[in-house]
């Protein structure tokens, strides 16, 4: 792989990773366009292209983890702190219960089509009908 090929593949990955299209497919097309590992056996070429794409995507994952490191650490600290508080018998606040319910109750586009009685307004009515008690 030449430096130019690496730059092109990096640009394709960076431009397509965070939009709702397949960055992997774009990398495959870009690898073919720049004839990445072009003079080799087809099997070896496919394996090396796959390995190259995997390493490029690991680089993207590492960049995201570094960028959001403070947020990830804060979320983990709050999660651990809240769970230790629950183990000690502290009451669950209404907000924590509401967050739990928002995880357990799927959004309306994930509701089964064969359950017309479970609609989004029904869920909103059930969730907001009464304040959440402390447990």
Residues 30 and 75 in one domain: no
**Residue 96 in domain:** yes
Count of structural domains within the chain? 2
Residue 3: partners with Cβ closer than 8 Å, 6 or more residues away: none
Q: Which residue did the predictor score with more confidence, 107 or 55?
A: 55
Q: Is 21 helix (H, G, I), strand (E, B) or coil?
A: coil
Interval 92-111: pLDDT, tens: 555 555 666 666 665 555 55
Per-residue pLDDT band at 135 (split at 50, 70, 90)? very low
- Torsion angle, alpha carbons of 20, 22, 26, 32, to 10: -170
**Residue 13 in domain:** yes
On the question of pLDDT at 117 being above 70, the answer is no
Q: Which residue did the predictor score with more confidence, 94 or 78?
A: 78
**Do 55 and 31 form a contact (C-beta atoms < 8 A)?**
no
Residues 52 and 75 in one domain: no
**Residue 135 in domain:** no
Q: How far is CA 80 from the centre of its chain?
A: 21
d(Cα 48, Cα 9) in Å, to the nearest integer?
A: 14
**Residue 134 in domain:** no
Domain that holds residue 95: 70-128
Mean pLDDT estimate for the chain: 74
């Amino acid at each position: 792989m030449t430096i130019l090929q690496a730059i092109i593949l990096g640009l394709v990955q960076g431009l397509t990773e965070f939009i709702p299209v397949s960055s992997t497919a774009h990398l495959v097309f870009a690898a073919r366009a720049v004839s990445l590992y072009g003079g080799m056996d087809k099997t070896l070429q496919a394996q090396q292209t796959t390995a190259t794409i995997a390493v490029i995507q690991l680089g993207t994952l590492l960049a995201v983890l570094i960028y959001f490191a403070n947020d990830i650490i804060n979320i983990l600290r709050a999660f651990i702190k809240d769970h230790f508080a629950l183990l000690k018998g502290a009451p669950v606040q209404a907000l924590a219960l509401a967050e739990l319910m928002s995880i357990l109750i799927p959004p309306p586009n994930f509701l089964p089509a064969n359950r017309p009685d479970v609609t989004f307004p029904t869920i909103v009515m059930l969730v907001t009908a009464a304040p959440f008690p402390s447990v």
